[in-house]
Amino acid sequence: MRRLLGWYDHRIVNVNVNVLLAGGIALVITVAIMHTLERTGLLAELTSWAASHRVGAMGYEVQMGKVAVSGLTLIVDLVADVAVYYGLHWLANHMPSRRHKIKTNAYADLTFMRDATLVQFERALLSPLLYAIALTIQNKMLHEGWGVAWATGVGFAVGIIMCRLIHTLWMMRAEREAGRTSAADVVGPDRADAKPASERKAG
């Protein structure tokens, strides 16, 4: 257990773990909400405007009601994922009892919001791939008769795994280059850093 905690003290490890946890927790929240909406009939009401429409493309009929379900799923998952990740990132890297344990110098000068937002920016660049994979699989399974819960769970699980592999390689490369370009240089200086040296000394 101590060895695992030691590994977790490395930012690249805890960011990866927290992203997976956030994705997993958000997935559970999303599946629960979508399943509840389906069982209560609210999902049908929310997507009724599109349910009667069908679009044909290359011999494949797309039911717009199913597309509307995927769009609603996207919104629910985005909100849940971002909220959960910010909480986990603070606990792992910025809680007062944890800050001195984090084994990296590249991000040491970043505040919680700048640090967590940097990770979210990196994730945002990968999010089109995540949602393309997740919602494509979800939509395909819905058309094959699977329930919303199963289709959502399988689609997002595959999307999360693929994006975690890519993001891990990206963060490993960033850690190797940290000596040449720090994270603080990437996201810009704090307002306090922008003050003249004389003012900073006076404060």
pLDDT at 99 (0 to 100):
56
Q: How far apart are CA 89 and CA 105, in angstroms?
A: 17
What is the DSSP secondary structure assignment for residue 1, as one 8-state letter? -
3-state secondary structure of 63: strand
Task: Look up residue 7 and give its two tokens.
Answer: 């590994």
Task: Look up residue 155 and give its two tokens.
Answer: 């689609």
pLDDT at 56 (0 to 100):
58
Which ranges of the chain would DSSP assign to H, the alpha helix?
2-8, 11-40, 42-46, 48-51, 64-89, 112-143, 148-176, 183-187, 197-202
Query: Torsions phi, psi of 118, nearest 5?
Result: -60, -45
Q: How far apart are CA 171 and CA 63, in angstroms?
A: 39
pLDDT at 104 (0 to 100):
59
Successive 10-residue mean pLDDT values, the chain, 203 residues: 66 83 88 89 76 58 74 89 89 69 61 82 88 90 88 89 87 68 47 54 51
What is the DSSP secondary structure assignment for residue 10, as one 8-state letter? S
Task: Look up residue 133 and give its two tokens.
Answer: 């994979």
* 97 exposure class (CB count in 10 Å sphere: 0-12, 13-18, 19+): exposed
The model's pLDDT over 57-68, given as tens digits with 9 standing for 90+, comes to 555 566 677 778
Strand partners, 54: 63
What is the DSSP secondary structure assignment for residue 149, as one 8-state letter? H
pLDDT at 190 (0 to 100):
52
pLDDT at 69 (0 to 100):
84
Which residues, at least 6 apart from 30, have a Cβ–Cβ distance to it below 8 Å?
Answer: 73, 76, 77, 80, 152, 156
